Structure 1
């Protein structure tokens, strides 16, 4: 579609360029006028620029459709970015979940090993305590070994036996003291193991809580991602609908632009034929009258060499380059806008004949009046965006006659009159003739 549009645009540019150059060759009485040649050059450039921009212009409907498409794309981009972010967060949560599970399993294994070791140590301690208790009971039952040794000595045992018994008693006491020390050490180590097990249990509990919280977050992200994915799919559909609508309107606009180009060429050709006829007639009259003004009742305004204001109102946009208020394109504003209300009567700027009266998508309802030769040049005026016509095409009008009423038809942002003056077939600043 883009290549086709470019090809049509180039064809339109070439056709308008050939038409503009041909026009320059068809006005022999004006060809020597340097000022008019400059005006014609600007007009040629303006036509070429208009042709180049014609496929970039669009109707209000396309502007709205394009805006809707842009808005749909922006919403889609935002939704896709959010979905990508959510999926990234979900992937991170899943990675953390796997890491937490691994650490939890490791800590759990260490806890189970510590608990087994603690259980074994507690059993060994209990066994040692039982041994100590049994020894104490036996000692109490048998009495003090030292006293028993002394009693034996008193009962007639030899001193060597006494010494041996005392030595045995000392060894037993030392062994018992050592066992008690080992028992105390086991108790200390057992407490250390108990503290380590408790710490591991706390660590496992904390890791489980963190894993559970991360799991909840992961479930939330999964739900969000599913909702967002559904939303993105819907937005893709909306964007596609908006794109198709914009493409359909753009295609219609392209056809409309092509029709406008054909219409413009037709009107331009007719205007140039009138210009050639008027100027040729003026030259013939001038030659016949030896310098007369060449007035021909049907094709010139003998009352004045200037035009009157078609309406009484402020100028809201002057002739020259500007940013178009509807299309947003910087281009030539080929007339003068008068800010007056809809329904305001529009008067003929000079006497003449209505040669065209029709609707144009850009200019809306328009009237074109041929005023004949003024100041030695063909002068034609056009009145655009009318709400209604007062006279018919082909009718002769006098200066000041009401020809229609102000409106806002065509490419217009509000009620106003777009007034144009064509000199020798080329647009010019109307203010130079008012």
Structure 2
């Protein structure tokens, strides 16, 4: 959870607002959502609110819930946008299918009309052909039938008469055969056309049924897209109202953050000053020790008529892990780590710092969990943080002194109660207090800080 920092103290309100209050409108469930969707949204908001409580300690319940809703809505935005895009794509696809089917129906109807016209023409042609065959048969009957070749020869009155008779007979036969052949062909075409007409009519019926289904699908897709659009519109209004609510509280939050910033800087400065004195005293002692050792070495060399050895210097600070810190609570997970966290682009940054520093780490055990000294030291503070640090609740500050050139202090906030008092010496592992949720806190947790040589550092470097 955000805490105090040298650059930009992490008041929880600043952390919450800077990190999550984006001005970009998101998507959530609309008022027309189903009961299951509303229950899912409620559960998601409650889970997110717990996370907000863990991440942003100095945040009131109402603001935490608003921030949680914004986070949930923001998380739902990609899926909701995709659902809307999919719905719109289904509308386009359905509309395209309806259009294509309508074109096919129109083409099939045109084919149906063409075939119907062809059948009508074929019927007229068949009727004309049958009439011609009837005329040929009638003429032959009147003439006693088509004469044989022999009768034509005997009845002829000369060569020319015979020739004419044969020609007429041949033409009559050819005309009759051609008419019969044409009639057969026209009947075959008519049968084929009738079959095609049945097939086309069947296709038209199927296409019309498909077109009706496609039209219903298109309407369903349009209804779905309209519902998704309604969700977006509803959320736009909801998110706008939330942003207005948070903006209305901006002056109050700004005043609170300014106070916390000042208080945080003062406490860190107090610890830094005490550590500066400790380090100065340590260096003086070390310098006196080294000087004494150098003088003794020089005197020893003079007594033995040897050159004096090079003068030793005060050693540089060693690795701070030499303090050997243990975890202050056993088996508790770290719910929030240490470090600078940038403000997302487009968000409201109330103090203009571009982000905040979470200046410690948070452990999330249950209330009443014992807290133990991670290393031996003196209790600098064991108080309620009244006046100077209202947001910390019950707090303890342990001074672990100077070890190999490094000065270390550890801070414990929001304790339920103390097991030590100011000025007391504690050993490593000794009980010093119990986890709580005092001060400006919305859930049981322990905020643990390490101040090394006057600076807040990541406790994980030392544990």
TM over 0.5: yes
Runs of at least 5 residues in structure 2 that lack an aligned partner in the other structure: 21-51, 54-63, 289-322, 345-354
- Equivalences for residues 284-323 of structure 1 within 5 A: 313=330, 321=338
Question: How many residue pairs align between the two structures?
Answer: 357
What residue is the counterpart of 1:81 in the other structure? 85
3-state SS, counterpart of residue 425 of structure 2: coil
Provide, for residues 254-293 of structure 1, a one-character-per-residue CA deviation record: whole Å limited to 9, x for no partner.
Answer: 6647624421312432563686589789999xx9xxx9xx
Conservation of the 8 A alpha-carbon contact between 1:363 and 1:411: yes
Conservation of the 8 A alpha-carbon contact between 2:339 and 2:458: no
Conservation of the 8 A alpha-carbon contact between 2:111 and 2:200: yes
What residue is the counterpart of 2:95 in the other structure? 91
* TM, length-normalised to structure 2: 0.57
Cα distance in 2, alignment partners of residues 416 and 148 from structure 1? 132
CA drift of 1:148 comes to: 9.7
CA drift of 1:127 comes to: 0.6
1:398 to 424, 427, 430: 424
Runs of at least 5 residues in structure 1 that lack an aligned partner in the other structure: 1-15, 17-42, 154-159, 292-305
Q: Confirm whether residue 269 of structure 1 aligns to residue 298 of structure 2.
A: no
What residue is the counterpart of 2:125 in the other structure? 121
What residue is the counterpart of 1:420 in the other structure? 449
Which deviates the most, 275-284 or 75-84? 275-284
Cα distance in 2, alignment partners of residues 432 and 193 from structure 1? 96
Conservation of the 8 A alpha-carbon contact between 1:381 and 1:421: yes
Cα distance in 1, alignment partners of residues 280 and 340 from structure 2? 41
- Equivalences for residues 338-349 of structure 1 within 5 A: 342-346=367-371
Which deviates the most, 115-124 or 199-208? 199-208
Conservation of the 8 A alpha-carbon contact between 2:269 and 2:454: yes
CA drift of 1:140 comes to: 4.6
After superposition, the Cα gap between the structure-2 partners of 1:176 and 1:381, relative to the gap in structure 1 and judged at 3 Å, is: closer
Conservation of the 8 A alpha-carbon contact between 1:114 and 1:196: no
Conservation of the 8 A alpha-carbon contact between 2:333 and 2:365: no
Conservation of the 8 A alpha-carbon contact between 2:88 and 2:222: no
Conservation of the 8 A alpha-carbon contact between 1:145 and 1:169: no
Provide, for residues 294-346 of structure 1, a one-character-per-residue CA deviation record: whole Å limited to 9, x for no partner.
Answer: xxxxxxxxxxxx9997957368669985699xx9xx98664576786531344
After superposition, the Cα gap between the structure-2 partners of 1:337 and 1:126, relative to the gap in structure 1 and judged at 3 Å, is: closer
After superposition, the Cα gap between the structure-2 partners of 1:177 and 1:353, relative to the gap in structure 1 and judged at 3 Å, is: closer
CA drift of 1:177 comes to: 0.7
What residue is the counterpart of 1:204 in the other structure? 200
Cα distance in 2, alignment partners of residues 65 and 430 from structure 1? 32
After superposition, the Cα gap between the structure-2 partners of 1:356 and 1:389, relative to the gap in structure 1 and judged at 3 Å, is: same
Conservation of the 8 A alpha-carbon contact between 2:10 and 2:358: no
Larger Rg: 1
CA drift of 1:110 comes to: 2.2
1:218 to 214, 220, 236: 214
Cα distance in 2, alignment partners of residues 143 and 274 from structure 1? 143
What residue is the counterpart of 1:56 in the other structure? 18
Conservation of the 8 A alpha-carbon contact between 1:319 and 1:336: yes
What residue is the counterpart of 1:383 in the other structure? 412
Cα distance in 2, alignment partners of residues 93 and 334 from structure 1? 61
Cα distance in 1, alignment partners of residues 99 and 84 from structure 2? 22
CA drift of 1:118 comes to: 0.6
Kindly report the root-mean-square deviation, in angstroms, between the aligned alpha carbons of the 2 structures: 5.5
Cα distance in 1, alignment partners of residues 161 and 325 from structure 2? 152
